[in-house]
Amino acid sequence: MGDAILAARNIVTAAVDLALAPASSLPGAWPLIWLSVVSGFLLALIFKVLSRPAPLAAMRRRMGGTTSGILLHMHDPVAVLVLGGRLLAQNFRYLLLLMPPLVVSAVPFMLLYGQVHSRFGAVAPGPGDTTLVVIEGLLQGGSGSASAEGAAVLEPGFRSGDGSIAAFRIVPSGFSFVVAYGGSRFHFGTPRRTGALVSSSVPELGLTGLFDPSTGVAPGTAGLRAEMSAEKAVYPVFRTRPGAEAVFVAVSSLAALAAGVLFKVKV
C-alpha cells in the first residue's frame, strides 16, 4: 500500500509543480499566492461540476416561501412553530444536497494544503546553514556512525545508550542532501525553491503520507525514522506574520468566492 500511496502523491506533486511553473521565479510570497489563487478557482470549478443547480434552486424557493409564511403569520404562534419546523427540515435537506460537492472538494483541498505546507511552510536549510537531524529506532549494536552526501556531518553526534535515538548536526552544501545511518538513506531538502521540502523520513508511508509531501521514504532493515529541523516560514501581511497555511486558506477562499461569481455558482 505504501508504494501505491507514494505513486499517487508523486502524481499530485508533479501536477502542483506544473501549476507553479509560471510563478516559480517570482520573488517572496508570490508563488504561494499564485498557487492559492489557482487552487481557489479549481475548487470552485469542482463544486460547480458536482453540484445540482436545479434541486438547490427549488429548495431555495421553498425556503423563501416558508420564511415569507413565518413573517405573514407572526400573530399566530402555533403557525410560526409549524413553519419554523418546516424551515429547519428544508435547511437540513438543502445541506444534504450540498454535501456531495463539499465532501469531494475536501479531498483536493487537503492534498493542496499538504503541498503548501511542504513547499512554503518551512525555510529549507541552505549552503553553510547548520541543521539537526534526529534518527529514531532501535539499531542493532546500540550505536552507529552517520555519513552524508551533499553535506558535512559535525561530530561528535549524540547517541542514546540503547541506540534508539541518534542526533547529528548537518551542514548542507546545497538545498538537498542525503544522510546514511544504520543501513538506511534519508533524503532531505528540496531540489528547487518552490519544490516540496522533505523534512522527515519513515520506512513506509501510511495513508496520511498522501497528504504530506514533507515525509519521505527511507526503507531499511532497521525500520528507522528521521526528522530534520527547519525554521517555520512567515509572510508579513498588514503587521501580522501568518504562516503559509493561513495565507493559503485566506487567499484560496477569496479566489473561490471570485470564481464562484465568475462561474455563476450558487450556494
The pLDDT of residue 60 is above 90:
no
156-210: pLDDT as tens digits: 788 887 778 889 999 999 989 999 887 788 999 988 778 889 999 888 888 888 8
CA angle 238, 119, 243 (to 5 degrees): 25
The pLDDT of residue 84 is above 80:
yes
Min mean pLDDT across 71-80, 155-164, 230-239 is at: 155-164
Q: Which amino acid is at 13?
A: T
Mean pLDDT of 52-78: 87
Give the confidence band of 101 by pLDDT, cuts at 50, 70, 90: confident
DSSP calls for 137-151: SPPTTS---EEEESE
Mean pLDDT of all residues belonging to the chain = 88
The pLDDT of residue 142 is above 60:
no
26-58: pLDDT as tens digits: 888 899 999 999 999 999 998 888 888 888 888
What is the C-alpha to C-alpha distance for residues 216 and 225, in angstroms, rounded to an integer?
A: 10
Which residue from 57, 123, 78, 109 is spatially nearest to 265, judged by alpha carbons?
A: 57
Count Cβ atoms below 10 Å from residue 92 Cβ, excluding itself.
9
113-136: pLDDT as tens digits: 999 999 999 998 989 999 999 998
Contact, 173 vs 188, CB < 8 A? no
10 Å CB burial of residue 182 (0-12, 13-18, 19+) is buried
Residue 267: predicted pLDDT: 64
Cell numbers that stand for 113 in this block = 494544503
Residue 2: predicted pLDDT: 75
Mean pLDDT of 213-229: 83
Mean pLDDT of 17-34: 91
More confident: 6 or 194: 6
Pairing of strands 122-123, 231-232: antiparallel
CA 44 to chain centre: 18
pTM of full prediction above 0.85? no
Min mean pLDDT across 164-168, 225-229, 238-242 is at: 238-242
